[in-house]
A = this chain, B = another copy of it.
Amino acid sequence: MARTVNEEKRLERRKRILEEAVVLFAESGYSNTTTALIAKNIGVTSGTIFQYFPTKETLFHAAVLEPLEDIQKKSLAMLQQDESPAALIKNMVEEQFNHIYSYTNELRLVQSVLGQRIRFPELTQQVLDSIKVMTDTIECVYAKGQSLGEFNPGFSPAMISRSYISFLNGVALTLGEDIVHHPEWENLKAHAYYLFAPVQHSTN
């Protein structure tokens, strides 16, 4: 029992470290974020970090991958519900664009990894694998939608899913903090769905 309480405390603290790491790594980059600052911001001392993560790099990996998995899981769950492909995709786009502000940091972290593949080769691979799971699923749903006449059959599903992921990342990258207050925000969101080339009557 006592064991469990300790276990919980440890997990709780680990989570706090990870949260703060995500914020700081995203804001300032890997090298410019010090383990001491992460520690200070959550009210522990510098040594404590290393009781939970053996190295700074390990912490970074966790800060990149763990939130990514959470996000993926949520999105994949949405795509496996019992609705028409077009509806599934529309929901996914809505969901991802509406909540984009709540995981800006996580996205930015992923992007910073992709931007430095040579420096983080292993991590990059894991990120790409994770993205691949996502695009594969979208591809699959999209193909089904095409066969049902919901999407323009002239486009390759592989390309479409790639396009969407690229667009999503590009939007998050080029628009800033206040991304959702951009005057064209609503139109941009609609255009994300337009990318899938929905056949008219089913879009409405």
Contacts and interface: CB of A to CB of B under 8 A. Distances in A.
A149 interface: no
A72 interface: no
23 contacts: A27-B118, A28-B116, A28-B118, A29-B115, A29-B116, A30-B32, A31-B31, A32-B119, A115-B173, A158-B184, A159-B184, A159-B188, A160-B191, A162-B188, A163-B171, A165-B170, A165-B174, A166-B170, A166-B173, A169-B169, A169-B170, A169-B173, A194-B197
A183 interface: yes
Interface residues of A, number: 46
Contact of A195 (B119, B173, B177, B195): B195
Residue from the set A112, A158, A169, A170 with the largest chain B CB neighbour count within 10 Å: A170
Interface of A: 26-32, 108, 111-112, 114-119, 128, 131, 155-156, 158-160, 162-163, 165-171, 173-177, 182-184, 187-188, 191, 194-195, 197
A114 B171 CA distance: 11
B115 A112 contact: yes
